[in-house]
Each structure stands twice: as structure tokens, then as C-alpha cells.
Amino acid sequence: MDQEQEFYNRGLEKAQAGDFAGAVREFDRVLRINPQLVEAYYKRGKCRFELGDRTGAIADYNQALQLQPERTEIYLSRGLTKLALKDNAGALADAEQSLKLNNNLAAAYSLQGTAYRRLGNLAEAIASFKQAANIYLAEKDKQNCQRCINSITEIQAEQNRAQTALATHASFYDRVLQKVQRGELTQALEDLNWLIQADYNDAQAYSYRGMVLSKLGYNQQAIADLNKALQLNSQILPAYCYRAMVRMEMGDYGGAINDCNQALQIDPNYIDAYIYRGNAHHKSANHRLAIEDYSRAIKEKLDEPEAYYQRAIARLDFQDIPGAIDDYQQAANIYFNRGDWQKYREVLEQIKKVQSRPQGEQRKNYSDFFSHAKSKPLTELQKQLITMVGGYPDIAERLVNLARYKYPGMSEEWYWEKAIRDLERDR
């Protein structure tokens, strides 16, 4: 027996015994002697697959097919390896090439069905598995026939689930949001994956999935989904806010503000956009603009507790302790009326923390420095500042009071001009 055959036989023996690394070494020896031996490439590719070396297996199958391009089993082995590498389109191409060479090959139809299924082409997948099952049945291969039938049953269940979801979008999304609120993020993600598989153009599904992915910490994937949602439908306002939320997590406060601005261009009364933009301003230490946005949200909806809560935090950073306590109390009252006891208790804890601050800090109430008589007609400067803060005289007063506190001894006009200049600078 010549060395080539000896090494090849030893490779087969070691592969059969499960010593795939040893088998690869023997096939290496064979190919050094005869680099044209198709079987050695093919067998080495199968051993490399078993060792987890998918790339090496593909390289061997490619070499084998260059030498002998009509070997259906090599296409099938390469297709299965591509499936393992999540190259579903490549696996489908290999299955189809096998069927061109032999249109009665059950394994090729089975591979085709698996690739179609992973690509989301469920009707085509069922047709392929039916073809495979019929051939396996004719060959009296009961086990593989049953496996194909099981795959068909599973896909039909997937179709029913997707169709049910598509028929009742509103209730489906409600259930997803309920899962998110309960912290069942993985289950919510699974539901949205099914929905997107059923309809690749469902912008709302991408929007919700982006939100869930962000909560799971997958920020880049979340951004990709939200971009896709807005590409499909630029009018989905929550997608802008979800993307703003992710960008804030990534430290991109300017991008977050821009997203909220885009939402407000579509709907100037969209409350969530004001709250998220307020959050972005707050995180970038622009407390005045944050307070303006939260106030605008409250103006649009007086019983929005999140706006009061966030404005309280911003007012604390703005050293407006009484205003912060007032806002916390408003949020607590709303949560109490809604019966949301967890949130109610959380807000009460925040009030206690603020009230437990040293008395000197609590007394920083800038309204003590407000000296002009409210009964007097408003000056042009006062009107300008009130307009700049969204028509809220209390916010304008607090800005002027802060200037009085920091710069005592200046004229009344100077304080109002200073507040206006600071706002213009921060915009």
C-alpha cells in the first residue's frame, strides 16, 4: 500500500473513532503528497467542522468543488456549514445548486427548507420540507420523514402566531408593553422578533424592539432598529423619543435633543418629546431649558406625573428647593389618585430626602429676593423673558431671583436683562 492510501485510510479510521484532530493531520499528509485528491479535502472539511473550525471546513469544501464541481454531497456539507455560520442565503444557494444536479435529493430539500425558514420565507420552507418528506417516505427513511413533518408543524404554528399578531396589532403591542413593564424583556423581544419575521416592513415593531433592546443594554442594535423604523415611517413619534433615550445613554445629548426636535416639528404638542428633551437638557447641565420643557409638558397635560417628577429634579439642581418639593408633591398626588402605590412611595421618599437637607440649604428660596410689585404693568423686558420661558411668569421670576441672589446691588432692569442673556446663551 502506498503512503497516500495509507495516510488516507488512517484518516478515515481516526475520524470514525472520533479523533478528528488526528484525522486532520492524516489528511494533511495525504494532500501534501497529492493536492488534487478531492476526497481528502472533503473528509478533512467534515473533520474541521466537527472541531468547530467552520472557516477551515468551508475552505476545504471550496477546494474540493473547484476540483469536482458536480458533487452534490459537498454542496450539502458546505450548505450545512454556512447555516452554522448564519450565512442563510449562502446555505440556500448550495441547496439549490445540489437540486440542479439532482432534483430528487431529500437532504437538499431539507437544507433548502431550513434556509428558507431562517430567512423568514415560511411558505417556501413548508413546500421544501414537504418535498423532502415525500422523498424520505419513498426511501422508507421514517426518521428523517418524521423530522421534516415536525418542521412543517412548527412553521405552521409560527405562521398562526404571526397572523394572530398581525390581525390584532393594538392588543399585541399592549401585551408587549405589559411584559416590558413587568421586566419580562426577553419575552417581549421574542414576540417582536416573531412579528418582524412575519412582516419585515412593520415600522412599529422595529420601534418597540429598539426600545426593548435599549433596556437590555444593546444600544447599537437599538439604534439600528429605530433608524429602520423611521426609515419605514418617519411619522412614528415614539421612535424619535426612544432613539433620544438611547443616545442619552450613549452620552450623545445633542443627538437626543435633535431627535426630540424632529418629533416636535411633526407634533408641537407631543408631551413625551418635551420630557425627553428636558432630560437631555438636564443631563447636559442646562437646567433652565430642562425646566422650560418639563413646564411645557405640564401645560399640555396637567396630570403627567413624570413631568412634575423630572422638573423637581431639575429644580433641585437649580437650587430651587421649595419649587422642587412642590413638584414632587404634585407627582405624588397624581400617583396616589391613580393607585400607583409603588411610584407614590418612591416620590414620598424623595420629598423626605429633600426635607432632611440642612436648614440653611432649604432656605435658599429665591422668591425672598423678588422685589418688584406684581401689581405694576409688565415692562418690555419682563414680557420678553416670560415669552422666552414659554409664558410661565413663575419660571421668569425664579430666573430673575437667581440673578438677584448671585449679583446683589444691581438695578432691576439689569437682572431681567441678565436672565434674558443667559437664556439666549444656553439655547
- List pLDDT tens digits, range 284-295: 888 788 888 888
**Residue 34 contacts residue 40 (beta carbons within 8 Å):** yes
Say what the pTM is.
Answer: 0.47
Higher pLDDT, 280 or 172: 280
With a pLDDT cut of 90, the percent of the chain lying above it is: 45
Is the pLDDT at 406 greater than 70? The verdict is no
The pLDDT-based confidence of 372 (bands split at 50, 70, 90) is very low
Residue with cell 414680557: 383
- In the prediction, which pLDDT does 419 show? 83
Instruction: Please check whether residue 94 is in contact with residue 78, taking contact to mean a CB–CB distance below 8 angstroms.
Output: yes
Q: What average pLDDT score do residues 47-55 get?
A: 94
* Higher-scoring residue by pLDDT: 306, 408: 306
Q: What angle do CA 107, 75, 59 make, to 5 degrees?
A: 140
Cell numbers linked to 16: 470514525
pLDDT at residue 322, rounded to an integer: 84
Q: 135-161 burial, b if ≥16 CB within 10 A, otherwise e?
A: bbbeeebeebbeebbebbeebeebeee
Closest listed residue to residue 314, CA positions, set 294, 342, 338: 294
Query: What is the model's pLDDT at position 223?
Result: 94
d(CA 249, CA 247): 5
Task: Summarize the chain as % helix, strand, coil (round to 5).
Answer: 80, 0, 20
Q: Which three cell numbers stand for residue 126?
A: 413548508
What pLDDT is attached to residue 370? 41
Determine the Cα–Cα distance for residues 144 and 377; give it in Å rounded to an integer: 90
The pLDDT value recorded for residue 263 is 92
Of the candidate ranges 295-304, 360-369, 382-391, 404-413, the one whose mean pLDDT is the lowest:
360-369
Cell for 413? 432692569
**Cα angle 307, 311, 315; round to 5:** 175
Q: Which residue has the cell 418528506?
A: 133
Summarised one tens digit per residue, pLDDT across range 106-146 is 999 999 999 999 888 888 999 999 999 999 988 999 899 99
Residue 254 near residue 244 (C-beta atoms within 8 A) = no
| Per-residue confidence band for 377, with pLDDT thresholds at 50, 70 and 90 | low
Mind listing the pLDDT tens digit for each residue in 318-342?
778 888 888 888 888 888 888 887 8
Task: Write the DSSP string, 339-406.
Answer: T-HHHHHHHHHHHHHHHTS-HHHHT--GGGG--S-TTSPPPHHHHHHHHHTTS-HHHHHHHHHHHHHH
Cell numbers for 411: 438695578
What residue segments make up the domains of the chain, in order of their start?
3-164, 302-364, 370-427
Helix or strand (DSSP H, E) at 150: helix 142-167
Q: What is the pLDDT of residue 166?
A: 54
pLDDT for the residue 257: 94
Least confident of 40-49, 89-98, 326-335: 326-335
CA 268 from chain centre, in angstroms, equals 26
Say which amino acid occupies 403: A
What value does the mean pLDDT take over residues 342-349? 87
Mean pLDDT in residue range 49-72: 94
Reduce the DSSP state of residue 104 to 3 states and report it. Answer: coil
pLDDT for the residue 106: 93
SS3 184: coil
The fraction of the chain above a pLDDT of 70, given in percent, is: 89
Average pLDDT estimate for 225-239: 92
- In terms of phi and psi (left: phi > 0; alpha: psi -120 to 50; beta: otherwise), the region of 285 is left
Residue 380 has pLDDT above 50, yes or no: yes
Quick check: 365 pLDDT over 60? no
Q: Which pLDDT score, from 0 to 100, does residue 364 have?
A: 43
Residues 6+ apart with CB under 8 A from 331: 305, 306, 308, 309, 312, 347
C-alpha cell at position 71: 458533487
User: Which grid coordinates are listed for 257?
Assistant: 435633543
- H or E, element range at 425: helix 412-426
Of residues 345 and 164, more confidently modeled: 345
Q: Is the pLDDT of residue 363 over 60?
A: no
Residue 222 pLDDT level (bands cut at 50, 70, 90) = very high
pLDDT at 366 over 60: no
As assigned by CATH, the class of the 3-164 domain is mainly alpha
Stronger pLDDT, 301 or 265, i.e. the higher one: 265
Instruction: Tell me which range, 41-45, 319-323, 345-349, 395-399, is most confidently predicted by mean pLDDT.
Output: 41-45
pLDDT surpasses 70 at 302: yes
Q: Would the CA dihedral through 157, 162, 168, 170 be positive or negative? A: positive
What is the pLDDT, as a whole number, of residue 394? 65
Question: Is the separation of the CB atoms in 222 and 211 below 8 Å?
Answer: yes
How does the average pLDDT of the chain come out, rounded? 85
pLDDT band, residue 202 (cuts 50/70/90): confident
